[in-house]
Structure 1
Amino acid sequence: MTTYCCDSSAEDIPSDVQIKSLSLKVKASEADLEDYGTPAHPQISVCMSHKQFTHNFTVSPGHKFTRLHFCLASYPGLNVSDALFSVSVGQYTLLRTSQSSYSRDSSDIKCVIREFVMKVDAQILSITFTPSSGHSKAYAFVNKIEIITMPANVYMQDVRLPLVGNSSQIYAANYTVLETMHRVNVGGDDIPPEGDARMWRSWSGDEDYFVPDGALTSILQSKLGIKYSPEVPAYTAPEKVYSTARTLSPKSGGNMSWSFLVNSGFCYLVRLHFCEITREIRQNGRVFKVYINNMTAGIVRWSRMPGRPVYRDYIIDCSELDTGMEDLQITISSDNGPSESDCQGILNGLEIFKLPDSRDNLAGLNPFGTATSHGSPYREDKATRISLSIFYGLFAVVFLFSFTLLYIPSEWYGTFSLCQKRSSKCCKPFGENAIPLTKIMSTTNNFSDDALIGTGGFGKVYRGSLDGGATLVAVKRADPSSHQGLHEFQTEISMLSKLRHHHLVTLMGYCLERKEMILIYNFMGRGTLREHLYKTNSPPLPLKKRLEICIGAARGLHYLHTGWKQIVIHRDVKSSNILLDDKWEAKVSDFGLSKLGPDAMNQSDMQVSTAVKGSIGYLDPEYYRRLKLTAKSDVYSFGVVLFEVLCAKPAILPAHGNGDGPQSLAECALKCYHSGMLGQMIDPYLQGKIDPDCFRTFTDVAVKCLAETGRERPSMGYVLWNLELALQQQSRADGEKLRGPADKILAGNSSILVAHQLYNSDKNIGAEFSEIIHQTAR
């Protein structure tokens, strides 16, 4: 291990680099400062410069851990808020700071380690620090640099890996640089570097990441000897990782989940470590599913001796959203039910690495995280999180009460009339994404008809832009005469602030000012699904495009039903609420009528009593009759959408000249299906183009969605699985051949290689765990 400390003993100091020392008379924990001084005389030294400087290290070619240590403090003559700089190795930008990277409390020292895995081809490793050119006082700094040689192919392997949630597979090239985001010892304590002697890594316990959601889990600790193998050598992870685990308790069912803060705009390598450490588990005694961001990553089945570790690698694409930070969720689920196995899912450890984007960039928002770090700088303190939750909960109650009295326009009160003075500024009762009305009026040219792109139940929708025209947005302006009002406005903001998914629309901001209620979303360039099905001048959609759109919408709805701690019932699923971006990706929209259901751990047919709301033609008849809302109500509505897609007809068919009034598409489709006449009802454009197997799979699941009662209807997961099967059947019938072993494409902002065969990241397939990679979104 090569260690470079910035103190008076440092050699080969680059020109223009100064060494400054700070005697500590400020707040800081001993754990943060143990590498920078002694408890009696704590002192931090730093290498800094107002000009670009480069540290050159003589190393042997191969794979390295490179760890950069930063102690965020105001050193003599310097203000830490001026530490605006970037760090690069070759063409790769490792990190970039901004003023938001630093605490406003100058007495609060935070020491952070940023770790990178890199392949060095030459005998010189050059690390360049570049102060920002846009700030006159900007400087770059570093406190310590560690370079540790590691065996080849520990993380950078020339193997094909599954891209979670995509029917293709991606080939993980031998990347030159990765960034460590999280390294967790599940079920165990923190492991300091000296506890991982072979690789000198830090592992965090999982308590700060584990999401308790009602499932019964157990912590396993075992003295069972760990039996490494050539495929999983001892340096893969220390014995302490494989000797502890968190597991779902026998016969409990349910899920166990962990949530990790990551930068949006990147793809991530997720490595999961498994090892059976209970001798009592029989062969095939553990069967469980792995979900990442609510999408199926694989099914794992324990098959052989205990004590033999394995790992699985996955790629997850988080590049679609550009929200700065987002949560990456890993879930172990006993979806197969307790009857199939004695003991459910298990996880021993995990690691998450950021992949560079297409510009060879790894720099994300806030490179120094939110807390001190000898493990991950993105680790959250649970007590802080709970305290903040309580604080914000109390604050919200007080604020909403005050907001009701002071800011709601008087005509929304009904018989109440409060003549309180209202602020002319845009109020922010729902968060920090409020956008001033003047800015919105400017971008829509004062809501001119030229900017108008549509009209819905909430009001009119206008085209606009933010960030100087760089970001196109859709501006939804409430109509005062609309039946949807403040409650729907609040619900939309509340839901979309909690929910994040590739197939849900992204709320960019809102405005509640001068009696205006306005919501701002990402602009969807292809409009609504309905606009491409009937009463349109657009060319008919090909069958495969229709199937892909249905699959995307089903993934979004499945996330609503299973991906959060409570079931979210959309309550207004229809073709006009499925939006399409420029890439024809489906996004579920319009959450104004959404309703929170029971805990997601419960069955999706648990009922919520509520007044009937929804759209004619899509409304669940059971919900209409009994006023009992369930997630299966969304399934019914989605069944109507499936027949809209197949038949290119509206949910309410117009009256015919024979005297019959308007008819429901759902009723007509069911009659035709049971009489064997459905083929005559489909879109003429699709006649002769649908594979019989695909047609049977698609129509069967659509009919099941329209069952009379919720208990007879399938879950959205079942619907999704069958839609993906239908797409595979149609693709096979079209004679599509698998492309070559690796075709390069662009996934989000990350350059990846696509392969169309299933591979595991280690060669130990079928030894201890057998895995079926089933690319179905959860």
Structure 2
Amino acid sequence: MEKFHWDKLHEPLSLFLFLVLFLSYQLPSSAYTLPDKYFVNCGSKNNINVTSRTFVGDLNSDSVSFTKKSSSVRDNSQASGTPSLYQTARIFWQRSSYEFEINTNGTYLVRLHFFNSSGLPAAVFDVLASGFILLHNFTVQNSSSFPLIEEFILSIPIGKFFIYFVPQGSSFAFVNAIEVFPAPPNFIYDKAPQISQGSSSNEYNGILSRALKTIHRINVGGQTLTPENDTLFRTWLPDDNYLYNPDTAKNSQFYVGRPNYIDLVNEFIAPDLVYKTAKEMNINTSRPSNNFNITWSYDVTGNAKNLIRVHFCDIVSQSQNGLRFFLYINSNLVQIINPYETVRLLATPFFIDFVVDSDDSGLMNISIGPDTSLTQSRTAFLNGVEIMEMMRETDLVPITNESNQKPIFIIVGSVLGGLVLVCILGGVLFMVLKRRKPKAVETSNWTPLNAYRGSTHGDGKMPQLSTLSTEGTVIASPVPNLNLGLKIPFVEIQLATNNFDKKLQVGKGGFGNVYRGTLRDGVKVAVKRSKPGSGQGLPEFQTEIMVLSKIRHRHLVSLIGYCDEGLEMILVYEFMEKGTLRDHLYNSKLPFLSWKQRLEICIGAARGLHYLHKGASGGIIHRDVKSTNILLDENLVAKVADFGLSKSGPPGQTHVSTVVKGTFGYLDPEYFRTQQLTEKSDVYSFGVVLLEVICARPAINPTLPGEQVNLAEWAMFCKQKGLLEQIVDPSIKVQINPNSLKKFAEIAEKCLREDGDDRPTMGDVVWDLEYALQLQQTAVAQEPHEDSTSNASSILPFPILQRFPSMSAGLGRDDMSITMEDDSDSVPSASEVFSQLKINDAR
């Protein structure tokens, strides 16, 4: 009884404590109020109010300081409609910084504002903070007529927080406005499921230790949301431009009241307007089956790690029911979405985070689809998507407080002591240098290298390339087992590209930028430079060098050298004057290729691939055959390029078991299903290239009607219906001999067969293409003979082709057994034997 009496007395107190604890979980936003700092109007002494925020002029701010070696500018040439916040900027001519005093540990939102004012688009610079490169070689495009806002999410400790601006080369850096303010509690969680390519997942820990860069923030099913109608001054874009097939989805809206913020989501995670709109399946009740998916495709950085947040709020159901559907990322099933296992009421928001690695395609596909096992409610919905790139750390950013002041007597003592030490060391160094030849010095990580800095001999003359030292301190992991004779000092590459002048940039890919350059011996080169400090693409970098340093062929792009000094990963190739095959097929500014030229290009590329498969010891599978990886020299001679994904195996091995990697639209469906890579996977991809050549359209074109999106499917359908001539490139239609066209289409069809064993070898393809060329050059049109080495007939049934997305995973570091080969072709040319035969007697 006594114990019971004690419990009764404390029952009200226990209930009160329970309610406090319950409300603390149910109302996490109650502990957060919109901040009032830091909002900085750069280059100005005026304060400006923008959407409930006061941007304080940095010239008058007591809480924000900046490097004094800078200047403020005002653009008076802008029209009166230009927002006041973007009429001023701060310009930095050397490495400089803004300094903020952080009083509370936590997660912070950092936004940098840039505007295309007169003259400022010429700026090229880096932005760094908290040990991360936030922006690299950043520039504001000339075509931009709106402010560009780059947003980052950082974990910042108490103390001084620096944002560094580092001009590149002889350029400068600038910024119009800066925001630094704490995010709400639990805005970003430290762990999330990490999705692998094999559809399995494990937990990723340490998200808060990375800097996150917002790449996409999408209001699915709704309109553009601006800072005026967002709780944290964010911008959300509509999703329509990202839909793979708009016909699969329709918009839904919630008109009554607010969403039910009763679980662990509040209005700061996403505003009401995100959760009150959605895309759901556009179900056609007249069709017996509605088992399609809704797919969105987003541009992302290739080979990067991303945090993906998907938002859900069931506004499509009339009542709580058995609704259940599937969520896919890059065609991997990552989650079964059952809203009412997560929340308790209709119109209740929730979100799910995933950590996902992007592949080198530069695309991230997100799909939702129905659970077909349900007897009702076969639908799916999505309210919002956020994609945040997880930035890599770099040693280039000092994390220490560089404003710490030392007592003056320590500084004076250090200087005097240093002078004495310098005198002593100077004498020793002089004696050593008299006996030692100077070596090339590595360039600073920060200061752009002058033309002849650190690379002259004692006579002041520039040494030849072969005499330059390749020594230097290696910060990154060196590339193992490579041909050191191909190493080129970083200084030489800087000289060849005028310190990576933007005017010399000729391309950009997942690995990095490509520049045109000229070595000091006059050789023109193409320089492919990875994003400095990113560490991305190391396996591809190693594979490319190991493959190209050991093989030579007239139809394979030659590797001239490479550089792996410091944090740099650079590949130097022979320069291909005419660019990519894709450029000549789709770029209307370039002269169109005749049918004969296209045939000769296809033959050359096929010979290069055949040499890879059969001419090198053990055989090499390219694994990324596409029109952008077929380059043309000044004489339009085709050369296969980009061997970063290549695989090799022991002699006699029929396949290589590996995770799937390739490019969307070119991927071999058999390889996708079995994860067994064979030479015939390259053959399939080359078949898609052949269709590009004849039709002059991309392998995938999402803007076309659904049945025409995939070129392989569409072209084979047209061939089967006898309509292939209707999709032939109009610029060459009148040139093509019908027999040559028929033979060429037959070759493409054979390459695209579903079963790899039924596809020809690349040697067979070379022969058939040579035959198609001879048919084109024959004066009298004749029916093509069934003479190919694979004995295929155009009357064979066509395969049912399936569309598979791009899949990617890390490249294994397999040992390669490759021997040096000469430039000779290893398959006989059909033209060499054709002259010995009469056309009617051709086999």
Q: Shorter-chain TM-score category?
A: 0.5 to 0.7
Secondary structure of the equivalent of 1:636? coil
2:213 is equivalent to residue 179 of structure 1: yes
Shift of 1:116: 0.9
Q: Structure 2 vs 1, CA of residues 216 and 441 (structure 1 numbering), >3 Å: closer, same or farther?
A: closer
State the Cα deviation string for residues 385-440 of structure 1 (Å, max 9, x = none): xxxxxxxxxxxxxxxxxxxxxxxxxxxxxxxxxxxxxxxxxxx9xx9999999968
Pairing of 1:75-90 with structure 2 (within 5 A): 79-81=119-121, 83-90=123-130
In 2, the alpha carbon distance for the partners of 1:461 and 1:633 equals 21
Q: C-alpha distance in 2, partners of 1:287/1:709?
A: 37
- RMSD of aligned C-alpha atoms? 5.5
- 2:48 equivalent to 1:10: no
Give the match for residue 102 of structure 2.
58
Quickly say closer, same or farther: Cα 1:243–1:213, change in 2 above 3 A.
closer
Map of 1:127 onto structure 2: 163
Distance 2:747 2:247 in 1: 23
Q: Does 1:332 align with 2:383?
A: no
Residue matched to 2:755: 637
**Counterpart Cα distance in 2 of 1:290 and 1:191:** 26
**CA distance in structure 1 between the aligned counterparts of 2:526 and 2:122, rounded to whole angstroms:** 34
Q: Deviations over 1:102-150 (max 9, x none)?
A: 4457xx7642211110111223322222333x31xx3332222212212
SS in 1 for 2:209: coil
Following superposition, the deviation at residue 590 of structure 1 comes to 6.3
Distance 2:514 2:192 in 1: 42
Q: Which residue of structure 2 aligns with residue 144 of structure 1?
A: 177
Change (3 A) 1:274 1:261: same
Which whole-Å deviations, capped at 9, do the CAs of 1:15-41 have from their partners, x for residues lacking one? 4255534254435865xx2645xxxxx
| Percent of aligned pairs with the same amino acid | 18
Distance 1:28 1:453 in 2: 62
Instruction: Report if the CA contact (8 A) 1:222-1:244 is conserved.
Output: no
Question: SS where residue 679 of structure 2 aligns?
Answer: helix
Aligned to 1:575: 678
- SS of 1:592's partner is helix
Distance in 2, Cα, partners of 1:97 & 1:274? 36
Q: SS of 1:72's equivalent?
A: coil
**Equivalent in the alignment of 1:306:** 346
Equivalent residue, structure 2, for 1:201: 234
Matches within 5 A, 1:426-505: 453=551, 460-461=555-556, 463-465=558-560, 470-471=570-571, 486-487=598-599, 489=601, 504-505=624-625
TM-score, scaled to structure 1: 0.53
Answer yes or no: is the 8 Å Cα contact 2:221–2:252 preserved in 1: yes
Question: Does residue 116 of the first structure (1) align with residue 228 of the second (2)?
Answer: no
After superposition, where does 1:603-618 map in structure 2 within 5 Å? Answer: 607-609=717-719
Please give the per-residue CA displacement for 1:454-486, whole angstroms capped at 9, x wherever unaligned.
88xxx84464347779327799999xxxx9961
2:108 is paired with a residue whose SS is strand
Q: Secondary structure of 1:608's partner?
A: helix
In structure 1, C-alpha distance between the alignment counterparts of 2:638 and 2:748, rounded to whole Å: 29
Counterpart of 1:277? 315
The alignment status of 1:217 with 2:250, answered yes or no, reads: yes
Counterpart selection for 1:235 from 246, 255, 268: 268
CA contact (8 A) 2:556 2:639 kept: no
Contact 2:221/2:238 (8 A) holds in 1? yes
What SS does the aligned partner of 2:755 have? helix
Q: Mapping of 1:368-767 within 5 angstroms?
A: 453=551, 460-461=555-556, 463-465=558-560, 470-471=570-571, 486-487=598-599, 489=601, 504-505=624-625, 510-512=630-632, 515-523=635-643, 532=650, 534=652, 546-548=656-658, 575-578=678-681, 591-594=688-691, 598-599=707-708, 607-609=717-719, 634=752, 636-638=754-756
How far 1:299 moved relative to its partner? 4.0
Q: How far, CA to CA, are the matches of 2:149 and 2:596 in structure 1?
A: 50
Number of the residue aligned with 1:684: none
* 1:248 partner amino acid: M
1:489 shift after superposition: 4.1
In the aligned structure 2, how far is the partner of 1:284 from the partner of 1:229?
21
User: Any idea what the Cα deviations from partners look like across 1:349-384, whole Å, max 9, x if unmatched?
Assistant: 11110111364799xxxxxxxxxxxxxxxxxxxxxx
- Secondary structure of residue in 2 paired with 1:306: coil
What letter matches 2:105 in structure 1? P
How far apart are 1:509 and its partner, in Å?
5.5
Q: 1:356 aligns with which of 375, 379, 391?
A: 391
Q: Counterparts of 2:603 and 2:681 in 1: how far apart (Å)? A: 18
Deviation at 1:82, TM superposition (A): 5.2
Q: Would the alpha carbon gap of residues 225 and 467 (structure 1) be closer, same or farther in structure 2, given more than 3 Å must change?
A: same
- Cα distance in structure 2, aligned partners of 1:254 and 1:172: 34
* Pair 1:558–1:233, CA change in 2 (3 A): farther
SS in 2 for 1:284: coil
Matched, 1:188 2:291: no
Q: Give distance in 2, aligned partners of 1:561 and 1:261.
A: 23
| CA shift for structure 1 position 271 | 1.0
The number of equivalent residue pairs is: 513
Cα shift readout 1:494-531 (whole Å, capped 9, x = no counterpart): xxxxxxxx963466655545644213421258655xx6
Q: Which amino acid aligns with 2:209?
A: Y
State yes or no: 1:70 paired with 2:102: no
Gaps of 5+ in 1: 37-42, 363-427, 444-449, 494-501, 535-539, 563-567, 580-585, 614-623, 645-662, 667-707, 725-744, 749-778
Q: Sort the Cα spacing of 1:277 and 1:489 in 2 relative to 1 into closer, same or farther, 3 A.
A: farther
More helix by share: 2
CA contact (8 A) 1:209 1:258 kept: yes
Instruction: Supply the distance in 2 between the matched residues of 1:247 and 1:630 (Cα, whole angstroms).
Output: 38
Alpha-carbon separation, structure 2, partners of 1:202 and 1:14: 28
Name the SS of the counterpart of 2:115 in structure 1.
strand
- Return the alpha-carbon distance in structure 2 between the equivalents of residues 633 and 142 of structure 1: 53
Q: In the alignment, is the contact (CA less than 8 A) between 2:112 and 2:178 conserved in 1? A: yes
Q: Is the 8 A contact 1:117 1:177 kept in 2?
A: yes
Q: Distance in 1 between matches of 2:748 and 2:373?
A: 25
How far apart, in 2, do the equivalents of 1:491 and 1:234 lie? 60
Helix, strand or coil for the counterpart of 1:329?
strand
Question: 1:65 offset after TM fit, Å?
Answer: 0.5
Q: Of residues 84, 90, 94 in structure 2, which corresponds to 1:46? A: 90
CA distance in 2: counterparts of 1:147 and 1:34, whole angstroms: 20
The Cα of 1:88 is off from its aligned counterpart by 1.6
Bigger relative contact order, structure 1 or 2 (CA pairs below 8 A, ≥6 apart): 1
Distance 1:246 1:120, change over 3 A: same
Measured against aligned partners, the alpha-carbon deviations of 1:270-293 in whole angstroms (never above 9, x if no partner) come to: 11111110232663335244233x
Q: Which letter does structure 2 place at the counterpart of 1:519?
A: K
Distance change >3 Å, CA 67–CA 309, structure 1 → 2 = same
8 A contact 2:623–2:646 mirrored in 1: no
**1:254 lines up with 2:292 in the alignment:** yes
Q: Per-residue deviation at 1:210?
A: 3.6
Q: For residues 187 and 203 of structure 2, what CA distance do their matches in structure 1 show?
A: 19
**Are 1:316 and 2:356 counterparts?**
yes
The runs of 5 or more residues in structure 2 that have no matched partner are 1-34, 46-59, 285-289, 398-505, 528-547, 565-569, 582-594, 606-621, 693-698, 701-706, 725-741, 762-788, 813-843
How far 1:306 moved relative to its partner? 2.1
Letter of the structure 2 residue corresponding to residue 607 of structure 1: F
Q: Distance in 2 between matches of 1:525 and 1:599?
A: 29
Q: Work out the CA distance in 1 between the residues paired with 2:90 and 2:309.
A: 34
